[in-house]
Each structure stands twice: as structure tokens, then as C-alpha cells.
Amino acid sequence: MRVGSLFIAVACTWCLLPSCAEQNSTNGGDEVRADGGKDGTGRPDASGTPSAPTPTPAPTSTDPGAEPDPNAPCSITVDKKGFLGTQTVVVDWDPRTYEFYISPDYDGHTKLPLFLVFHGDYMTGNEVRSWFQFESGPSFIVAYPNAHTSWDIDSPAYENADLKFVDAMIDDIASKVCIDRNRIFSFGNSNGGFFSNSVGCHRGRRVRGIVSLSGGGPTTDNPLDYDGSGMFIGCSDSRSTSALMIHGDLDPKISIQSGRNSRDYWLAANKCSTSWDSRTPAPCVSYQGCQTGNIVEWCELSDFGHEVWPSTQEAIWNFVDQLR
């Protein structure tokens, strides 16, 4: 499998034996749920400014309804491949934008997987694109959505404008290129990691797997969405999904407990055991016996903070390669 270029941070990671025995908890104390200000450490400069979007004249429906047949044949030709810049879709009269990439391998009829890449607070799709070179990996369609400053991780699913944006964006992309609806993936870092977990929680029937780097969740601000032990029970989609969580134990912005809570949520949702096997790259592990048939993996990074792990992309490609 092809692995993308090295990332901007360099760290030495040692294996911590994960355990699901930690007490689950809702956000409390001094834990920071979403990053404030800059994301990570050693942040590079943004690579360019998005071009001005051209809004479409009427809003796009945000009701996902019944999913189209993922096995139906598709034939959509394109005039240009590679990075196509800013695309616009209107959601409830609000023009929303995403940066768009079509793999050079796209042939007009072979359905390619789709990766949705969610940035952290106060970032843009173009910036997160410069951090994570998804385009240097396997043949994917990649979208880098732009939030209104940060992603909404608190509002109920039925009124969450960012989740409606996800629905509209997927449908918009499917009208432009042939995508493999059985292999739609969500990735996010920091606040985007929280939102990636929300996408898996509320759109499990649309995404095959989610990845969270230095994130947490799923969560809302409604205390009724948690059981007596603090476990989140507020997901609106009954279909669970596969999940990979990556988190540094010295993260000063979003505590390691947020990542562990995410791990424990997906272990419970997928009815996995607490036994695990080592995975590449170390110190990642994959949990055994998930009764849903999904995969849950966890990478707890020793002596690592709120930054980009150099092996992030390798861990992602190894994760999604299992989900076919």
C-alpha cells in the first residue's frame, strides 16, 4: 500500500497498552472539547487562499432520504482531474463551500472511494489539505469542507446545519463523479475530529468508517444524551461504523481522556471485546470480536501533544484498506 509523505511533526512514540477499563465521563473539569485558536504545534502557513465561490441559485435538499443503490452502474465524464478548487452547495439558503480533488486515475465509470477531510477550529479546507497529503495516497475522491469557523458538535442532529451540509456535499459530489457509496470515509483533526465522530454517530449509514486525530465525541450539549455512567447514547443513526482514533497522551488542548471516551463509545457501539492485536504502525491496536463486523482501532501516542503524528497517513491507509 502506498503511504503519503511525512508530516510536519516528528515524534518518537512508544506503545501504551490501551485499556477499556478507564471510567467514561462526559466533558468536565478542565478538559477542552474543541480547540480554541490555532490547531496543533508547529503550524505551517496556509497554502493559498480559496477562490471565491459562485452560489447556485436555489438551496439543495438536505434530507438524505433513502440511499441510492450503491451497486448501480455509473458513467460521469469530467473535463479536468486533480485539484479543482472551491465548490459551492447551498444548504437552507446558506452557501457552503468545499475544496475538491479528483484522482488522476478516475476513468468516468469506475467508482472511487470518497474521503471527507474536516479541519480544526479557525482553519480552512485549503489549510488542512496542506497538512495531510491525502492526494498522494491511493486513488480517492477527496473533499475538504469549510466550516463557519468551527464545526457544530453540540446541536441535535435534526437541526445541525453542518450535518445537513455533509448530506448535501456528498450528493453534490455524487452528481459530479462516480463515487463508491460503500466506501465513504470521514477524517478530522481537533474540532474536526469531534465532528468526524459526529458524522459516524449520525450518518453511520452513509460513511464506512471515521478517523479522529486529537478529537473526541460523539457528544452534544444535552445531558439526556448520556447514560448514568457518562456513556453517550444520543446517536440518531442505529447503524454503527468502523472507527480509528489517534491521540497523544500529553495533548494540552484536548485531553487524552476525550480520545479514550471516543474509543470506548465505538467499542460499545460495535460490541467489541477488550482484547486487541497490535497493528502497524506502532503503537496502534485493533480490537477483537466486534459483533457488527466493523473495525475499531486505537493509537495512543506516548509523550505526544496536539500535533500531527508522522505516521498518521500510514495508519489511515492501513485502516481503510480493510474496509472494502
Residue 48's pLDDT band, with cuts at 50, 70 and 90, is very low
Question: pLDDT at residue 310 above 80?
Answer: yes
Kindly tell me if the per-residue pLDDT of 78 is higher than 70.
yes
Cell reading at 293: 463486523
Give just the sign of the alpha carbon dihedral 146, 151, 157, 160: negative
Among residues 176, 163, 175, which one has the least CA distance to residue 63?
A: 163
Task: Look at residue 202 and tell me whether its pLDDT is greater than 80.
Answer: yes
How is residue 218 written as a grid cell?
Answer: 460523539
The predicted model gives 182-205 an average pLDDT of 97
pLDDT at 137: 78
pLDDT of residue 109: 95
Q: Is the peptide bond before 156 cis (omega within 30 degrees of 0)?
A: no
Domains and CATH numbers, the chain: 82-321 (3.40.50.1820)
Taking a C-beta distance cutoff of 8 angstroms, is the pair 323, 292 a contact? no
Local confidence band at 65 (pLDDT 50, 70, 90 cut-offs): low
Mean pLDDT over residues 226-236, rounded? 86
Rounded CA-CA distance 67/239 in Å is 13
Among 233, 227, 237, 220, residue whose Cα is nearest residue 186: 237
Q: What is the mean pLDDT of the chain?
A: 83
Residues 95-120 have pLDDT tens digits of 999 999 999 999 999 999 999 999 99
Predicted local distance difference test score (pLDDT) of residue 80: 97
294 alpha-carbon distance from chain centroid: 16
On the question of pLDDT at 282 being above 60, the answer is yes
